[in-house]
Every structure is written in C-alpha cells, then in structure tokens.
Structure 1
Amino acid sequence: MRRKRRAVGFAVAAALTVAAAVTVTQTAMADPAAEIDWKPCKDADGDVECGTIEVPVDYAKPDGKKIKIGLAKRAATNPEARVGSLMVDPGGPGGSGVDMVKGSKIGSKQLQEKFDFIGFDPRGINTSTQIKCDEEQLAAARSVGVPTTKKKFAKLAKANKKLADGCRKLTGPLFDHADNLHTVEDIESARKALGDEKLNFLGYSYGTLMGQQYAEKYPKNIRSMVLDGNMDHSIESPWEFASTETAAVERNFNSFAKWCDETKDCALYGEDTTKVYGELRDAARAGKLKDPENGDPIDFYAFSERASLINESPAWPEVAKDLKVLRDGKGQLKLDGKAKAEPVEYVFQSMFCSDWDVSIKNFGEWRDITDRLAEEYPNTQWSSYVGTLTSCIGDPVKTTNPQAPLEIDGAPPLVMIGNLNDYATVYEWSEVAAEQSGATLITYEGYGHTIYGRGVECVDKPVESYLIDLEVPDSGLSCESQETPGGGDSGRRSGAPGTGPWAGR
C-alpha cells in the first residue's frame, strides 16, 4: 500500500480549457410506484428477487407514456445489521445490473451482511423496456467497419441514419429519451420506490457517468457513492477522446514490448518486439497480412483488435505467440479477432450519441484524427475504443446531454477508483473526474478495466469501510499492481477491448 501516486507519463486532461459549461436541464420528477412487487428471479445464483418500477419515457412530460425499469434484489444476509440498499450498475451502454446481482455475490461477507444489493437495468436494456433495432440494419452498419475512404465514410453515415430510423420505428419515443439525464431520474425514482432516504451507489465504467450526473442533480440524496473506472464528461472534441484512449494503449504496448524483450519465456524474446509488431502492423495496413490458417486477409483494424490484449498483462504470452504465428506465416492463432454476434436489443447508438457531442463532420476530419493517432502513437496507432466514435457519424441521434465539467455542490464525500493502465476508461479520466468533483481517488497501479471486487485488499478494504461506516479513504492512496505478466486470467470484468462494457463498434 502506497500513499503517493506515481506520476503519469503525459499531461492530465484536467489541464484542458473548457470553453463553456453546458447547463443540465432540470426535469420534473414523477412519483414512482409506491411499492415494488418483488418476485423470485429466474436463473439466479441464490435467493434473488426481481421487480420493476414504472417511469415516464420523458420526465418533462410526467403524465405521458410510461416504461418499465428492471431491478433485482439480493437481500442483506444479516437483516438486523442492515445499513440499507446498495444500487449497482456494471457499466454500459448495454451493462445489466440485474444480471450482475442475479449472477454473483458482490464484495465481502461483511458487505453482504449490511446491504441489500440492488441491480439496476438502465432504460433500454435487458429487463427494462428495451430499445429494439432491426437486426439487418444493425449488421449493415457494423459491416461498413472503420471508414478508410470518403466513399466508406458516406456509406457509414447513411447506414447509421437508417439504423437509427429503424430503431425509432421499432422502439418509439424511448429511442430519443435514453440519455444519461433520464437515467439519473430513473435512479432517483428507484431510490424512492425502494423507500431509501439516501442512495448508496456502486457504478463501474459507463455507470460512473450515471453516478457523477446523479451527484450533480441530487447531491443531498446521497449517503455513499463509489465510482470505478470513471468517464470524463468534460472531454471537448473527438480528437481528445481518441487521443486519450490511444495513449493508454500505446503506454501498455511499450510495457508489453519491454517485458517481451527481457523475458526468455516470451515467444519473441531476442527479436525486437517493437520491430516485429511494426512490420505486422504495416503489412496489415498495406493489405498484405493474412491468417496463416485460411489465407483470409487481416486488415489494420482487425490486427489491432487481435493484439488488443496487450492491455491485460496476464495475456501477454498469448499475444506474443500470436504475433509470432503471424510473422512466421504458420500455426494457429489463439486470440479471437472476430466480431461478436449482434443482438436485436441495441442501445449503444441511442445512449452514447445522445450523451457525447463527438460527431465527425466529414471524412477529412476523420482522416486527420486517424493520421494524427498514427503519428503521435507510432506503435499501436489506434485503440478499439476510438471506434465508438463511428457510431455517431452521420448525426443519427441528437446530443441532448453534451459534455461539461462536473459541478457537484452539497454532496457528501465521494470515492472514485482508477486503474493506472486502464485501456477503456483511462486513468486520466478518473483524475479529471475526481478533481472536478472533489472525490477521493484510489489509484490501482495495475492493468485491466475496473478493479473493486477482484480481491485487491488495498482497494477493497477502504472501499468497504467507506460504504459501511462512511470512513473516507486516505487522500492519495495508491495500490501496487497484483498482476503478473503471463500469470493467468486477469479477472477482467469485460471482454476484449472493443467488446467491453460500453464499446459500441
């Protein structure tokens, strides 16, 4: 356990000048259901109950059309010692708090004794009223891939708009009311329906934005809040988003290459890992890299996806083996580079594009971003999470919750957590969010995306002391990495980068 954070290798995003704060619209609250009709959940791990509450589609029209918000409850194991409810969201768009609570116990035995764990499904997702999209239109938009020509850019813009229009037709007005400001109101409605005087909230990844903006709107309704792997909603431009994401991947690649060059068990030991990677990357860009098993071409973005587990140090040996297979042109690739099957439920475009004004106006702007990434981050040149920006090309969804610095006034002490080598919600974002909110930041010096609940005592113990007893962790608390390169599964909460808790492409 350390008390002083290590320096980060490049400037913190908090130093950026924000041109103007955007005023968050204050919306009217509708009274939620007075009581939740809890019933046993299907396919739950243990005694878990499920229920729903009814909320307005549009909180500005509280008497208008209603939707359902899904909840799950794993009751405190010691009712006499119960502190209250702890609402959890594992991150999204697409993350299900209901499935998280149904599928596993959270935290220590002591924490389980003290809290009812409440899984929360954001609007549009899973057991909440879903955003539905046409599967063929979704597949068509995804099949365009990352636009590398003006023609493909125009094709993607058209496909994105067609997809959004199809989602609107299938879903109705919910599609255009899925921004985080509405989610904040849903959390408040759930708090009231649960009968809790104050909210206890544990949010991961995109769920941290839910917590941050709840604290802005309802600061005095919070008892405790832990946000792990924070979004920075004050990012001003597509370039800043793309740059901060790619910088983290470049930093992790340099650590991987150093390890490989110094470790005899690495498949590329003694061969200059950076050079091997660079030659494969350039071959992929030139259309000359092929899968040795079937001869299928592997383009730059597919190659980057396959190599993205450089961001998880336990996977480094497998990454090196795959790079050697590609270099030698023989053998079997181990890491999955194929796109996942597409669900009919699809909330990403509606939620992300309404929360982030990161529209790319034309192919020239997009090409400038990708060219600059290649120049400033010469090894990796890309992060899969930069691909999230492509969902908003063509302006298919109106941005109703644009970026602005956090302004939280009157909230109790909040706790944030950031992994130094996080590749998704990068560490600098957590630093900015903590500085803007006044939250206490716990730094984990390891790899992976989010960390609470993965058995790191230096993180878990102060977090749980805060949740149970409201004991605020020491300022500047930093926890040493517990990952060992090649040491087995990293315990990731999500899949490979680009298919994780809030990636849409």
Structure 2
Amino acid sequence: MNPHRRFGTGLAGCLITVALLVSACGNDPTTQGSGSAPGPSPSAQTPAQPTTSPQPTTSPEPATSPQPTTSPEPATSPQPATGPSEPITSSEPGVEPSQPGTGGQEQVESGSLRFQDCGEMYLCASLEVPADHRNPDAGTVTLELGMLPARDREQRIGVLLVNPGGPGGDMNSFLDYNAGLSRRLLERFDVVGWNPRGVMGSVPHGCSDETNRFMLVDPLPDSPQEQSALDEAARTAAEACLEGLGKYAGLIGTTHTVADMDSIRQALGEETISYFGFSYGAQLGLLYADRYGTNLRAIVLDGPTDPTLEPIEMGVGQLRGFARVIADLFDTCRRDSDCPVPGDPETAYENLMAQVEVTPLRDSNGDVLVGPAEVELALTTAAYDPYLWSSFYRGLASALRGDGEMLNDMAMWYLEGSDSGSFVSIGCADSGPLTRDDLQDAMVRFGEVAGDFGRSAIQSALPCLHWPETDPLPGGPIRAPDTPSVLVLGNRGDNATPYEWAAAVAEMLEHGTLLTYNGKGHLSYGRSRCVDEVVDDYLIDLVLPTGNQECD
C-alpha cells in the first residue's frame, strides 16, 4: 500500500456490507478495554464483501458480479457522547431503556417449541429444519432460538420475529438488550430471535480466528510479498470456513434462511407473525414478504437494500454513503475547537495511515496494535454512529502521539462485536465462487468512487475465490403483493444502507409506506421518538400514517 495514498475526493471511505445491528444502546469501545464485545446489537454494512452479502432479491436472474464487502458490522450501536473529547455516558434518545430479561418466566410453551431458562437474559429453544428445503431427503440442521416473553400476557398480541442484521448478527447480545425495542413492544409481543445458519451454534463455521486474521492484513499490498500474504490469509480463511461447515457450505445462504423463517413461524404455532428486521435483517424480511406475504401480520424494514441493484452498484452506493458520513465526521472535528486532533483531521488521518504503513504502532511486547487495517476498521466503526466520533477523535490524536491503544480498541471491538466468519461464509454462499476478473472489475469501480479506500473494500471478497459452486442470491424488483402492509424506515444520514435504497424499496412494494428519519447514523429505530411512535403504533395497532412521513 502506498504510504502516501490519497482517497477519492480526499476522503477515506469504507465499504461495509449491510449488516448491523440495532442502534438502541451499547457501550463505548474505548471504555471497555481491548477486545471487549459491544452491548446490544444494528453495520454491516463483513469481510467477504457482498454488498449486502446481503443482497435482497427474489427474481429468477442470479447476480453475476461480485458483491462488495470489506468487513463485518459491529454488533451494536454506541451510546451518545456530549462532545468530541467527553466519554460516552448515556443511552441514545428514542427507545426507552428497559431491563433485559424474561419477565420472571422460566418457561413458555409456544406451538411445538418449549422455551426454557438457559442461564441467559432470554429463554432458549432449538428447532430442527430441513438442511435443504428443496430436498427433504437431505437431512436436518438445528437452529438456536431465543424468546423474550410478552410481559403483559393478558394483552399479548402474538410473536414478533426479529433479526439484528449482518449477515452474521447473532440473537445472543441482541436479545440481551431487548432487541433494542421499546417497553410498549416488549409488553405486547413474544419477541423471538434466532441464530441463522452459519451463526453461532446454528450450523457453526468455526473459522472466526482465521477470518479475523485475514481482516487485519494490509488490504492494499504494494509488493509481491504483501500480495502473497493477503492471498494466503484469504485462502486460509476460506479453507477454515469450508472445513468447519462441511457439507453445509452451500446451504447457509440467505434464501435458505428465509425458508427457515417460515419453519420457525410454523413451529411457534402462529398463523401469522409480525417481523422487525434491521439492515441485512430488513433484507431477510423483504424476501420473506415476497415469498410468504400471507403469513405476515405486520412487517417493519429498517435500512433495507435495493434488490434491483447489481452487486457492484450496491457497493458503489455504500461507498458513497460512507464517504458522506466520513466527510461529516472530519468537518465536525474541524468546526469544534475542543476536537483533540491536531491540525486538519483528514490530513492527520492520512498522515497516520502513511506512518503505520511503514512503522506500525506496537505494544510493550512488540505486538502490532495499529497498522493500516486497524486504522480503517476504527474509522469504519465510527462511521456507523456519530456517538462514536468523539472516541475516534481521541484515538486518532493518541495514535499520532504514538499510543495506539484506543484505535486498537475500536478495531477489536468491531471485529469481536461481529462475526467475520459468518459474514464471509454467508456472503460467499450468496455470491458463489468469484474470479479475479470479478474482483478487478469491482476494484476499478470502487476506486472511482473512493480511491484506495474503495479499492481496499473489495479485498474482503478474496475468500470467495476459493468457495465452491452455490445457488447465488437472485436479484430483481420485489412487490410482495400478498403482504398486507410494509413499513420501510430510511435514515437520510445512513452510511451503510443509504436512504435512497429505502425510498426505492417503499416505492416498488405494492403496499409500502416510507418513514423518513432526518438524522445521522445507521438505521432509524431507537434514534427518534417520532420514529419509535410510528413503528410501535403500527406493530401494536396496525395503524400507519397516511402517505409517507418524515421525522426529526
């Protein structure tokens, strides 16, 4: 990587595939110590980069170009800070904080499932589903499920199935924080989450160590030795994931998970369910609405992807979204006299990248704390939520003084708060095997949008060069004519799932309503009381605004 590289339009942009978790509450990574996992969990935006490695779609034509990717999304959204140099101390506005838990219930029977105390903040169950829904003779796989029982059993409406994003977002930390939902929803619904195929104990991959190591290799090699190191790390990661998944490597993609969602509904004994999906979880919901619309009572999609876009175009859209947010991040520091970054923050960032390319920051044992990959991951983390900008500013200023602890904390929080093994595995299963030509084409386009930073994004798809043939995730418009109504949330300041995608999805759906949040950060629910009230009213009373609505 050229130590003096510059990024398109002078910005550092980071492509993250759709992922993410629900922005409701969380922890500041710089207050937890290196490697601490985040609290709750909306991206992604994700190592093997299918731009939505997540890419919703259901039409018969498979996508043929690579799905962009760079790294998985952090598992949760942070709490707000009051200024660029102050610690994060309070929860975000919007969703009212609520104690996680099961409401004192130790067991709930639901259909054929028995949810029981498992030592977590939620009740646990498991469900066997067909390994291949198209081939009943292919055996079964087991999915992990969790439930937050409705707290007001007499006023219980039914089941609200939820997914935090990803691909690779797990239910565990998500349900530990009540899925970021309001008290109103927790009182009226049995909130059910699950670990999709390829996540945690549901068809485990066992390759997170290898994919994390891959993600910490310099993504823009500028010598044969660096290229060889990147290629070897990608190959090792792919082989570890394929070995862990075994015969299920081609059966963990998004289309199989969508079919599992209806198996969960049936096992719960529910004629219809409500659904709330965030980021990649919104993609799952969109596909479910298209295939199983009559089985839905209500559905909310927060930060969906546009299924009509080719994978490369989706990657370009994400890079533009990140570029807008990162420009704002640097401008905010410029305008704040208390910002601790010396001089121009963008120039300071570029200077640090040049420095650690040549001389990485190390700890007292000589281990690398901060190299090019860690700096980009820290910026990626900050791009998901303005409440993390102050942490990034402090980390950048400290790194320029030779102390890489804070930026390393942010990078590790990102990696350990998401599952790069799941992201790689599900992303490659959705894209199928890629070729060098595929990656080169994407690299050219991403470089046009965001310079070297854009080019580094596509390197996350390198493990897919070693993936076997799969059924690629198809693409095309989705109308979901059998779904009664779909509430689509779009945040004008979203980095990973740009607002334009939500507007396009609401427009193409036969019964879509768009709720616009004029804010910042990834996703909308939990950031604005106006948004939360519209969503809660719809899920509880099936009341939608007349026409599209905007919230501040």
**Is this a same-fold pair by TM over 0.5?**
yes
* TM-superposed deviation, 1:360: 5.0
Q: Deviations over 1:91-143 (max 9, x none)?
A: 12222235533553753333223211112221232343x22335675566556
AA aligned to 2:315 is: A
Q: 2:206 and 2:345 mapped to 1: Cα distance? A: 43
AA aligned to 2:361 is: D
Q: Cα distance 1:289–1:231, how it changes in 2: closer, same or farther (>3 A)?
A: farther
Q: Deviations over 1:278-315 (max 9, x none)?
A: 4444555xx34643877959544332223331543233
What is the aligned counterpart of 2:162 among 81, 88, 93? 88
Deviates further, 75-84 or 189-198? 75-84
Alignment partner of 1:40 is 2:40: no
* TM-superposed deviation, 1:62: 1.6
* TM-superposed deviation, 1:254: 1.9
* TM-superposed deviation, 1:405: 2.8
Task: Please say if residues 231 and 425 of structure 1, whose CA atoms lie closer than 8 Å, have aligned partners that are also in contact.
Answer: yes
Instruction: Find the counterpart in structure 1 of residue 548 from structure 2.
Output: 476
AA aligned to 1:259 is: T
Q: 1:383 and 1:104 mapped to 2: Cα distance? A: 37
Alignment partner of 1:252 is 2:325: yes
Q: 1:43 and 1:210 mapped to 2: Cα distance? A: 29
Q: Cα distance 1:468–1:139, how it changes in 2: closer, same or farther (>3 A)?
A: closer
Instruction: Find the counterpart in structure 2 of residue 78 from structure 1.
Output: 152
Query: Which runs of 4 or more aligned residues in structure 1 lie more than 6 Å from their structure 2 counterparts after TM superposition?
Result: 292-295, 342-345
SS of structure 1 residue aligned to 2:205: coil
AA aligned to 1:171 is: L
Q: Deviations over 1:42-101 (max 9, x none)?
A: 2333xx432122211011112431111222222222223221111111112222235533
Unaligned runs of 5+ in 2: 1-50, 52-57, 63-108
Q: 2:213 and 2:369 mapped to 1: Cα distance? A: 20
Alignment partner of 1:179 is 2:264: no
Task: Please say if residues 246 and 377 of structure 1, whose CA atoms lie closer than 8 Å, have aligned partners that are also in contact.
Answer: yes
Q: 2:419 and 2:329 mapped to 1: Cα distance? A: 37
Deviates further, 368-377 or 250-259? 368-377
- Identical pairs, percent: 26
Q: Cα distance 1:477–1:131, how it changes in 2: closer, same or farther (>3 A)?
A: same
Deviates further, 64-73 or 287-296? 287-296
* TM-superposed deviation, 1:231: 2.6
SS of structure 2 residue aligned to 1:392: helix
Instruction: Find the counterpart in structure 1 of residue 464 from structure 2.
Output: 392
* TM-superposed deviation, 1:236: 1.1
Q: 1:106 and 1:316 mapped to 2: Cα distance? A: 21
Task: Please say if residues 446 and 455 of structure 2, whose CA atoms lie closer than 8 Å, have aligned partners that are also in contact.
Answer: no
Which has the greater radius of gyration? Answer: 1
Counterparts of 1:288-303 in structure 2, within 5 Å, are 288=358, 290-291=360-361, 298-303=370-375
Q: Cα distance 1:82–1:384, how it changes in 2: closer, same or farther (>3 A)?
A: farther
Instruction: Find the counterpart in structure 1 of residue 534 from structure 2.
Output: 462
Task: Please say if residues 253 and 426 of structure 2, whose CA atoms lie closer than 8 Å, have aligned partners that are also in contact.
Answer: yes
Instruction: Find the counterpart in structure 2 of residue 376 from structure 1.
Output: 449
Task: Please say if residues 198 and 425 of structure 2, whose CA atoms lie closer than 8 Å, have aligned partners that are also in contact.
Answer: no
AA aligned to 2:505 is: A
Deviates further, 163-172 or 208-217? 163-172
Alignment partner of 1:206 is 2:276: no
Q: 2:514 and 2:326 mapped to 1: Cα distance? A: 25
Q: Cα distance 1:216–1:204, how it changes in 2: closer, same or farther (>3 A)?
A: same
SS of structure 2 residue aligned to 1:172: helix
SS of structure 1 residue aligned to 2:534: helix
Task: Please say if residues 88 and 119 of structure 1, whose CA atoms lie closer than 8 Å, have aligned partners that are also in contact.
Answer: yes
* TM-superposed deviation, 1:423: 2.4
AA aligned to 1:436 is: M
Q: Which has the higher contact order (CA 8 A, sep 6+)?
A: 2
Instruction: Find the counterpart in structure 2 of residue 441 from structure 1.
Output: 514
Instruction: Find the counterpart in structure 1 of residue 391 from structure 2.
Output: 318
Task: Please say if residues 88 and 203 of structure 1, whose CA atoms lie closer than 8 Å, have aligned partners that are also in contact.
Answer: yes
What is the aligned counterpart of 2:436 among 347, 357, 361? 361
Matched residue pairs, number? 442
* TM-superposed deviation, 1:194: 1.1
* TM-superposed deviation, 1:317: 3.2
Q: Deviations over 1:320-363 (max 9, x none)?
A: 33333444x4456523254446999933233112223693524x
Counterparts of 1:263-342 in structure 2, within 5 Å, are 263-268=336-341, 271-283=343-355, 287-288=357-358, 290-291=360-361, 298-308=370-380, 309-327=382-400, 329-330=401-402, 333-335=405-407, 336=409, 338-339=411-412, 340=415
Q: 1:427 and 1:178 mapped to 2: Cα distance? A: 28
Q: 2:242 and 2:319 mapped to 1: Cα distance? A: 33
Q: Cα distance 1:153–1:421, how it changes in 2: closer, same or farther (>3 A)?
A: farther
AA aligned to 2:182 is: S
Q: 1:92 and 1:266 mapped to 2: Cα distance? A: 32
What is the aligned counterpart of 2:425 among 350, 353, 371? 350
Instruction: Find the counterpart in structure 2 of residue 9 from structure 1.
Output: none
